[in-house]
Amino acid sequence: MCLSVSFSVVVPVDPVVAHVGSTVILSCWISPPEDAEALEIRWYRQDQFNSPVLLYNQGKIQDIQECFRNRTSLSPRLDQSGGLKDGDVSLRLEKLTFQDEGPFHCDVSGGSSYGSEIVDLKITERSSFSDQSDSSSPWKALFLTFLICALLGLVLFILYKYRERMKGRKSAEENCEEETMEKLTKRVVEDVNIEELRKHAVEITIDREHSHPDLTVSKDCKMMRDSPDYNHTGDGFPYELCAFGAQRFTSGRHYWEVELARENTPPKHYWLIGVVKDGNYHLKDRSALTPSSGYWFLCSDGPHGFHTNTDQSIIFSLTPRPEQLGVLLDYDDGLLSFYNVKESKHLLTISSRFSGSVVPLFNPGVGDWSTLIILDCPKPVESAADSSGNSKPDELTVEISGNPNPDKSAVKFSANPNPVSESDVESSQPLLSNNCSDA
């Protein structure tokens, strides 16, 4: 006997979406509504008609597929639904897994009536957000609101404390800068003992390999100046035009002298002398040349005066302008001192902390007639006055970090450097090692 269709089976048009572990209702109902308790209701997966997910017949559930046992049943799709008596044959699935994803067939038959439709089920990952959104408990919503407010309050408190801390730090830095400027303004230049300084003299030569290609360096690697072909396009000091010493220092005291004026020529107005951390061979703009980056120097920038490369730039004047500059590196105590050799005066000391190898740093600047020359210091000569002891004058110290006590054992010194011929100057060429040769 053929079955006729006296009712139709209705399901949702769109797929049903649920996350792993949740419970879902696959809605299915008869239209027009009629009592379905006497009908056969078969829910099954694709090509599994004889192994139904759930089979209802003769007023009770007859069979449930093993993998759906204890987690499936017939359930009204809505609270106001009358269930089977109103033709609601919806399927309830609990503890969903990814294996549950796919089409579910809903077949309803009885007497001469038959209908069938498919419900598509999509399974997604479980998320904490969706779990929270599924919860309708008022206390959970209240707790979540309280937690968000507490976090916002904590963030605002941290921002407030950070602003207060930055204000305090800025005030301290301003006070420190004012104290440093006051020291420079009230600069007291004292006599020093050149013979004492020269006890720590070392021979310094230029490392051709790492020096700027637009520098002209002598054969003995002692004299340097800007090349005639060098075209300085910037407005400020040419910080990139640097030469580096071939000698590396990791401890002890080391002293060298630099001549900044030749006979019958005015002193150089543009130069930069100091030390640099070994390996920092590529100098760029002024803002990158800080002690924290491994640069310590004194710079003469013509009419713009003298300045050190402290984090807060300090500009001052020196009268008379140095014609011969002495440099003392005290690695262990973290001190870099500068001296006017001709006047036998201490100029200033930069206080910092060195790490790793440091090398001498030179820059002849541009626009001067004079050449920058590294001198060979004469051996110190002891005198009766020197051996009887000398007073220890106060020194000007520009502190960058820490608070070391600079060495103050200096009284007076004089200089008699060996002259170097200008004809020894030639274009700088890279060598295979850091040592200079006359070849």
User: What pLDDT does residue 189 have?
Assistant: 55
Is residue 96 domain-shared with residue 156, that is, in the same domain?
no
Span 131-181, pLDDT tens digits: 554 555 678 788 888 999 999 999 999 999 898 888 877 666 556 555 544
- C-alpha R_g of the chain: 45
Query: What are the φ and ψ backbone dihedral angles of 145, each rounded to 5 degrees?
Result: -65, -45
Query: Would you say the pTM of this structure is higher than 0.75?
Result: no
Dist. CA 117–CA 14, nearest whole Å = 13
Is residue 161 domain-shared with residue 199, that is, in the same domain?
no
Which of the residues in the chain have pLDDT under 50?
1-3, 129-130, 133, 180-188, 384-435, 437-439
Residue with tokens 């740093």: 361
Is residue 261 domain-shared with residue 285, that is, in the same domain?
yes
Dist. CA 348–CA 408, nearest whole Å = 11
Sequential DSSP letters for 290-353: -GGGTEEEEEEEGGG-EEE--SS-EEE--SSPPSEEEEEEETTTTEEEEEETTTTEEEEEEE--
Is residue 93 domain-shared with residue 230, that is, in the same domain?
no
Q: For the chain, what is the domain count?
A: 3
For residue 308, count other CB atoms closer than 10 A to its CB: 23
For residue 404, count other CB atoms closer than 10 A to its CB: 17
Residue 400 forms part of a structural domain:
yes
Is residue 161 domain-shared with residue 291, that is, in the same domain?
no
- Residue-number span of the structural domain to which 152 is assigned: 135-186
User: What pLDDT does residue 272 have?
Assistant: 95
Is residue 116 domain-shared with residue 148, that is, in the same domain?
no
User: What pLDDT does residue 136 have?
Assistant: 52
Dist. CA 97–CA 110, nearest whole Å = 32
User: What pLDDT does residue 418 have?
Assistant: 36
Residue with tokens 């407030």: 160
